[in-house]
């Protein structure tokens, strides 16, 4: 095929090239001929004009003409040279040589002669010459030129003829070539049809036959090696294997037919089995429905109602009742209200209960009904009852069911079914009981955890928060989302707590130790950033069963203990300081008295100092002990009605002994005013206030004590016009050992406990003490004690007390 195509293409190309070449050579030759002709004609034209000009010159003596003729010479010569260059054949060359000769003769010999003769006016010589040879030569040249031109024309014609002929030949060749090609193509197609198409249609036919299920025979020559050969042999193999398979199938089919018969027999058996299964399934569905209906609630009463309703419907009872054995809890189905009680009584009859407990099976009782049920019925009529026990999983009788039918009796064979249903009810009741129990326990646990004052935090071994109680949430401000905290990982809750704790890093360290299991039993003390409350946290391992289930972290608020502790140590340090100062004086001066020789004055002075400091020490210790006693609540108060005026008078007279220069006055409306309290302690309190007033009025200013009622309160005010107290010191005034610190007061001694004692005493009398003061203008201390009415019978009461 490819060969054929190549040959076809090659021939076509050769034809085309030949045609082209022919065309080209014709054009070339034609061009050369045209050129030659042109040159020849130019020569003729130029020569003619020269001849004319020369004749003109000779005739009229026009110099210009002569010049023009002479000028043409080089041009004619050039054209002759061109002609010679273009010459192809002998003819051309001859003509060229001839033309050259003629030009040589004319321009070199004749024309100069003629011109010279003309100038000599020798016309005769010119004429001679012309007649002798020139005319003849000229005619000869012109004849030759004509002849040459004619030959060239002829040449051109013959060339054209030749070309047309050649073209014709080529066209004929081309048509012939096309015919040959068509024939060859036809041969090839025919060959292909016979070689490939036929076997293919054979194959198609055969496969068609096979597909139709008929036996196919392939009429093909064996041994072909091309694709068709391979295809046909594969097809034949396929046919063989199909035939084999078919045989196999036929035998299988026979076997299957035999089996089919057997299967039919089995199917009949199965259908009967299926019927019984369906029946069984119906009863199971019923039970499922029962479980489903009953268990949609976890309330025991509801469960009983559902159970009795369902059972009654399931067994076709006219009425039904279920009652718990131990508890007074029951439900009924279609039992008239007034009949419920008697039925209940009947159901709980000890003989029935005992029988059910003993036999553990349902039983049937039939009896004649009472009048109320019989009603309109006539003739013999029985009321049928069935008693069904409900057992818990552990086996104890938990409830009894009673169902009744008015017409048809219960049948013994159905009892099994009833018992099965009762078992399901028992299971459900069991679950409900269990749920209630755990729910109660859970609530109790939660309640317990929440009522514990300590913060509790239950975490698992990985630090996940399992439970947290309200107390801890109160502290860490998480109460509103306490429920969401369960299951939160330690990565979240630990940093949260850390941020609220003063030394958060240390807390995290402690937690890490706890989770490692390397935490000590000492616990960890931390204080809250905002409230300043102090907590101690300790951990206990919680192991339920074998595995370590987690930890409980207990956060105990120890703020009070902590503060008491701190106060105690501060107190001790303050007291020791207060004691050391007078001790230093006593020790120092006595040492000097012992080891130094002193002047008598100095000796006396030192002794006096030692005496005063010892007194100071003693009163300090007394005051200190008083405060301690009062704070600890150990101070005994002997309460009685006390005459206020007498008490005040005693205080004033005592004070006057040590400060005679001060004027101390008592102002009160009624000298019979009485107050209910401990006389000695009240006196101590007022004495402290008065002595303070005196002490801090160094200029000897007046001090007044006034007693008056204000509503329910009896007021005792001690007023002075002394130093006064700076504003910033007012709130610290009643703090133990606090002493207003400025240079005016430095010289005035004091323990700093007087006002603390006053406050404690007044507190013990359910009252309070307040102070008003302007710095530099004196102070007023006011004690307020609730009034307790002193009635007629007081004398008696006093005796009694």
Partner 1 sequence: MVSGPNSLGDIAIYQDKRCGGSTVSKILLAEDEEILRMLITDVLEEEEYDIDVAEDGQKAISLIECNKYDLIILDYMMPGLTGVEVAEKTRYEGINKDAAIVMLSAKSKELEKNIAFRSRADYFIAKPFSPLHLLEVVKGILEDAQ
Instruction: Tell which positions 314-333 bind partner 1, by CB under 8 A.
Output: none
Based on the shown chain and the rule CB under 8 A, indicate whether residue 436 belongs to the binding site for partner 1: no
Near partner 1 by CB under 8 A: residue from 583, 639, 771, 787: 583
Q: How far is the C-alpha of 203 from the C-alpha of 224, rounded, in Å?
A: 14
Q: How far is the C-alpha of 458 from the C-alpha of 449, rounded, in Å?
A: 10
- In this complex, which beta carbon is closest to partner 1, that of residue 42 or of residue 609? 609
- In this complex, which beta carbon is closest to partner 1, that of residue 220 or of residue 586? 586
- State the minimum distance, in angstroms, from the CB of residue 505 to partner 1: 25
Based on the shown chain and the rule CB under 8 A, indicate whether residue 743 belongs to the binding site for partner 1: yes
Based on the shown chain and the rule CB under 8 A, indicate whether residue 587 belongs to the binding site for partner 1: yes
Closest CA to 497 of 478, 512, 522, 513: 478
Near partner 1 by CB under 8 A: residue from 70, 138, 291, 598: 598
Task: With contacts defined by CB under 8 A, name the span among 332-340, 595-603, 665-673, 689-697 that binds partner 1.
Answer: 595-603
Q: How far is the C-alpha of 558 from the C-alpha of 261, rounded, in Å?
A: 92
Based on the shown chain and the rule CB under 8 A, indicate whether residue 577 belongs to the binding site for partner 1: yes
- State the minimum distance, in angstroms, from the CB of residue 726 to partner 1: 13
Contacts of 595 (CB under 8 A, 6+ apart): none
- List the strands of the sheet with 524-527, edge to edge: 465-468, 455-459, 550-557, 534-542, 524-527
Contacts of 300 (CB under 8 A, 6+ apart): 329, 429, 432, 433, 436
Based on the shown chain and the rule CB under 8 A, indicate whether residue 374 belongs to the binding site for partner 1: no
- Residue by residue, DSSP assigns 734-791 as TSTT----SHHHHTS---S-HHHHHHHHHHHTT-EEEEEE-TTS-EEEEEEEE-----
Task: With contacts defined by CB under 8 A, name the span among 267-275, 290-298, 481-489, 584-592 that binds partner 1.
Answer: 584-592
- In this complex, which beta carbon is closest to partner 1, that of residue 579 or of residue 642? 579
Strand partners, 685: none
What is each CA distance from 763 to 100, 364, 622, 631, 784, in whole angstroms? Answer: 170, 83, 20, 10, 10
Near partner 1 by CB under 8 A: residue from 56, 504, 588, 702: 588
- State the minimum distance, in angstroms, from the CB of residue 589 to partner 1: 6
The full 3-state SS of 244-255, as one line of letters, equals: HHHHHHHHHHHH
What is each CA distance from 309 to 153, 332, 422, 784, 788, in whole angstroms? Answer: 140, 7, 13, 76, 73
- State the minimum distance, in angstroms, from the CB of residue 580 to partner 1: 4
Residue 498 burial (CB count, 10 A): 16
- State the minimum distance, in angstroms, from the CB of residue 733 to partner 1: 16
Answer yes or no: are the C-beta atoms of 693 and 755 closer than 8 Å: no
Near partner 1 by CB under 8 A: residue from 168, 214, 237, 746: 746
- State the minimum distance, in angstroms, from the CB of residue 776 to partner 1: 19
Answer yes or no: are the C-beta atoms of 725 and 773 closer than 8 Å: yes
Structural element, H or E, at residue 82: helix 63-86
Residue 148 burial (CB count, 10 A): 23
Task: With contacts defined by CB under 8 A, name the span among 58-66, 407-415, 430-438, 581-589 that binds partner 1.
Answer: 581-589
Based on the shown chain and the rule CB under 8 A, indicate whether residue 679 belongs to the binding site for partner 1: no
- State the minimum distance, in angstroms, from the CB of residue 599 to partner 1: 6
Strand partners, 468: 457
- In this complex, which beta carbon is closest to partner 1, that of residue 524 or of residue 589? 589
Q: How far is the C-alpha of 349 from the C-alpha of 473, rounded, in Å?
A: 55
Based on the shown chain and the rule CB under 8 A, indicate whether residue 741 belongs to the binding site for partner 1: yes
Based on the shown chain and the rule CB under 8 A, indicate whether residue 728 belongs to the binding site for partner 1: no
Phi-psi region of 657 (alpha: psi -120 to 50; beta: other; left: phi over 0): alpha
- In this complex, which beta carbon is closest to partner 1, that of residue 579 or of residue 787? 579
Answer yes or no: are the C-beta atoms of 367 and 385 closer than 8 Å: yes
Q: How far is the C-alpha of 515 from the C-alpha of 282, rounded, in Å?
A: 57
Instruction: Tell which positions 607-636 bind partner 1, by CB under 8 A.
Output: 609, 613
Q: How far is the C-alpha of 625 from the C-alpha of 631, rounded, in Å?
A: 10
What torsion, rounded to 10 degrees, do the Cα atoms 305, 310, 313, 318 define?
-20
Near partner 1 by CB under 8 A: residue from 576, 670, 735, 766: 576
Near partner 1 by CB under 8 A: residue from 160, 274, 354, 592: 592
- State the minimum distance, in angstroms, from the CB of residue 601 to partner 1: 5
Instruction: Tell which positions 519-558 bind partner 1, by CB under 8 A.
Output: none
Binding residues for partner 1, total number by CB under 8 A: 26
Closest CA to 432 of 420, 440, 422: 440
Longest dimension (CA), the chain: 216
Q: How far is the C-alpha of 416 from the C-alpha of 426, rounded, in Å?
A: 15
- In this complex, which beta carbon is closest to partner 1, that of residue 218 or of residue 621? 621
- State the minimum distance, in angstroms, from the CB of residue 485 to partner 1: 43
Strands 640-643 and 674-677 come out as antiparallel
Task: With contacts defined by CB under 8 A, name the span among 66-74, 93-101, 111-119, 578-586 that binds partner 1.
Answer: 578-586
- In this complex, which beta carbon is closest to partner 1, that of residue 570 or of residue 795? 570
Task: With contacts defined by CB under 8 A, name the span among 314-322, 406-414, 741-749, 770-778 that binds partner 1.
Answer: 741-749
Task: With contacts defined by CB under 8 A, name the span among 223-231, 262-270, 544-552, 574-582 that binds partner 1.
Answer: 574-582
Based on the shown chain and the rule CB under 8 A, indicate whether residue 78 belongs to the binding site for partner 1: no
- State the minimum distance, in angstroms, from the CB of residue 523 to partner 1: 25
Answer yes or no: are the C-beta atoms of 753 and 620 closer than 8 Å: yes
- State the minimum distance, in angstroms, from the CB of residue 775 to partner 1: 17
- State the minimum distance, in angstroms, from the CB of residue 596 to partner 1: 8
- State the minimum distance, in angstroms, from the CB of residue 564 to partner 1: 20
Task: With contacts defined by CB under 8 A, name the span among 16-24, 28-36, 593-601, 625-633 that binds partner 1.
Answer: 593-601
Near partner 1 by CB under 8 A: residue from 183, 546, 595, 792: 595
- State the minimum distance, in angstroms, from the CB of residue 762 to partner 1: 28
- In this complex, which beta carbon is closest to partner 1, that of residue 350 or of residue 599? 599
Near partner 1 by CB under 8 A: residue from 480, 483, 747, 799: 747
Based on the shown chain and the rule CB under 8 A, indicate whether residue 580 belongs to the binding site for partner 1: yes
Task: With contacts defined by CB under 8 A, name the span among 136-144, 151-159, 327-335, 583-591 that binds partner 1.
Answer: 583-591
- State the minimum distance, in angstroms, from the CB of residue 593 to partner 1: 11
Answer yes or no: are the C-beta atoms of 761 and 681 closer than 8 Å: yes
- In this complex, which beta carbon is closest to partner 1, that of residue 606 or of residue 676? 606
Task: For residue 466, give the 3-state DSSP assignment.
Answer: strand
- In this complex, which beta carbon is closest to partner 1, that of residue 309 or of residue 585? 585
Near partner 1 by CB under 8 A: residue from 121, 171, 584, 607: 584
Based on the shown chain and the rule CB under 8 A, indicate whether residue 589 belongs to the binding site for partner 1: yes
- State the minimum distance, in angstroms, from the CB of residue 753 to partner 1: 17
Q: How far is the C-alpha of 554 from the C-alpha of 243, rounded, in Å?
A: 90
Near partner 1 by CB under 8 A: residue from 264, 380, 521, 599: 599
Contacts of 716 (CB under 8 A, 6+ apart): 644, 686, 705, 706, 707, 782, 783, 785
Task: With contacts defined by CB under 8 A, name the span among 22-30, 145-153, 502-510, 590-598 that binds partner 1.
Answer: 590-598
Q: How far is the C-alpha of 292 from the C-alpha of 306, rounded, in Å?
A: 10
Residues contributing to the site for partner 1 (CB under 8 A): 573, 576-577, 580-581, 583-589, 591-592, 595, 598-599, 601-602, 605, 609, 613, 741, 743, 746-747
């Amino acid at each position: 095929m490819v060969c054929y195509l190549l040959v076809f293409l090659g021939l076509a190309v050769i034809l085309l090239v030949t045609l082209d070449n022919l065309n080209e050579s014709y054009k070339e030759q034609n061009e050369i001929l045209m050129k030659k002709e042109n040159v020849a004609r130019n020569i003729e034209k130029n020569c003619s004009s020269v001849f004319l000009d020369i004749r003109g010159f000779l005739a009229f003596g026009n110099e210009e003409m002569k010049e023009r003729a002479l000028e043409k010479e080089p041009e004619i010569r050039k054209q002759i040279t061109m002609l010679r260059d273009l010459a192809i054949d002998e003819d051309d060359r001859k003509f060229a040589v001839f033309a050259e000769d003629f030009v040589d003769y004319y321009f070199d010999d004749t024309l100069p002669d003629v011109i010279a003769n003309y100038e000599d006016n020798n016309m005769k010589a010119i004429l001679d010459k012309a007649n002798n040879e020139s005319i003849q030569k000229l005619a000869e040249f012109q004849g030759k030129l004509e002849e040459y031109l004619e030959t060239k024309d002829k040449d051109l014609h013959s060339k054209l003829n030749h070309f047309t002929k050649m073209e014709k030949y080529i066209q004929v060749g081309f048509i012939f070539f096309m015919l040959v090609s068509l024939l060859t193509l036809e041969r090839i197609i025919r060959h292909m049809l016979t070689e490939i198409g036929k076997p293919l249609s054979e194959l198609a036919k055969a496969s068609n036959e096979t597909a139709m299920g008929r036996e196919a025979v392939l009429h093909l020559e064996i041994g072909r090696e091309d694709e068709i050969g391979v295809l046909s042999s594969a097809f034949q193999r396929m046919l063989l294997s199909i035939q084999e398979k078919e045989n196999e199938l036929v035998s299988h089919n026979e076997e299957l037919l035999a089996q089919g018969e057997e299967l039919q027999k089995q199917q009949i058996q199965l259908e009967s089995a299926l019927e019984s299964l369906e029946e069984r399934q119906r009863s199971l569905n019923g039970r499922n429905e029962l479980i489903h209906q009953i268990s949609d609630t976890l309330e025991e009463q509801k469960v009983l109602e559902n159970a009795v309703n369902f059972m009654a419907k399931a067994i076709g009872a006219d009425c039904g009742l279920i009652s718990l054995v131990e508890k007074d809890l029951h439900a009924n189905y279609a039992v008239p209200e007034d009949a419920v009680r008697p039925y209940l009584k009947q159901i709980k009859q000890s003989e029935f209960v005992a029988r059910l407990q003993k036999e553990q099976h349902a039983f049937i009782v039939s009896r004649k009904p009472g009048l109320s049920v019989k009603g309109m019925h006539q003739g013999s009529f029985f009321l049928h009852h069935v008693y069904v026990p409900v057992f818990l999983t552990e086996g104890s009788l938990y409830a009894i069911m009673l169902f009744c039918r008015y017409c048809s009796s219960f049948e013994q064979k159905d009892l099994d079914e009833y018992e099965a249903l009762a078992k399901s009810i028992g299971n459900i009741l069991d679950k409900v009981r269990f749920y209630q129990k755990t729910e109660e326990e859970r609530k109790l646990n939660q309640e317990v955890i929440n009522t514990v004052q300590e913060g509790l935090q239950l975490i698992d071994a990985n630090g996940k928060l399992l439970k947290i109680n309200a107390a801890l949430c109160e502290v860490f401000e998480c109460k509103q989302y306490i429920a969401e905290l369960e299951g939160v990982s330690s990565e979240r809750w630990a940093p949260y707590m850390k941020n609220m704790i003063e030394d958060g890093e240390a807390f995290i360290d402690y937690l890490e130790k706890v989770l490692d299991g390397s935490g000590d039993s000492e616990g960890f003390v931390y204080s809250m950033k905002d409230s300043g409350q102090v907590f101690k946290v300790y951990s206990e391992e919680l192991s339920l069963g074998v595995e370590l289930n987690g930890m409980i972290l207990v956060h105990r608020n120890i703020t009070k203990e902590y503060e008491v502790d701190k106060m105690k140590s501060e107190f001790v340090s303050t007291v020791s300081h207060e004691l050391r100062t007078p001790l230093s004086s006593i020790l120092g001066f006595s040492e000097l008295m012992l080891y130094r020789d002193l002047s008598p004055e100095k000796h006396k002075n030192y002794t006096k100092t030692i005496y005063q400091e010892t007194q100071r020490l003693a009163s300090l210790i007394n005051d200190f002990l008083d405060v301690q006693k009062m704070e600890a609540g150990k101070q005994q108060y002997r309460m009685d009605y006390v005459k206020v005026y007498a008490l005040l008078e005693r205080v004033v007279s005592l004070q006057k002994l040590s400060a005679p220069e001060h004027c101390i006055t008592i102002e009160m409306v009624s000298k019979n005013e009485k107050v209910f309290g401990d006389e000695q302690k009240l006196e101590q309190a007022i004495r402290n206030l008065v002595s303070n007033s005196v002490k801090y009025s160094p200029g000897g200013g007046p001090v007044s004590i006034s007693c008056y009622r204000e509503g329910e309160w009896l007021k005792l005010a001690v007023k002075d016009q002394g130093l006064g107290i700076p504003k910033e010191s007012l709130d610290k005034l009643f703090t133990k050992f606090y002493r207003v610190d400025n240079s005016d007061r430095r010289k005035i001694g004091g323990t700093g406990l007087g006002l603390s004692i006053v406050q404690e005493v007044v507190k013990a009398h359910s009252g309070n003490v307040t102070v008003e003061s302007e710095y530099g203008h004196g102070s007023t201390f006011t004690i307020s004690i609730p009034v307790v009415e002193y009635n007629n019978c007081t004398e008696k009461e006093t005796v009694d007390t």
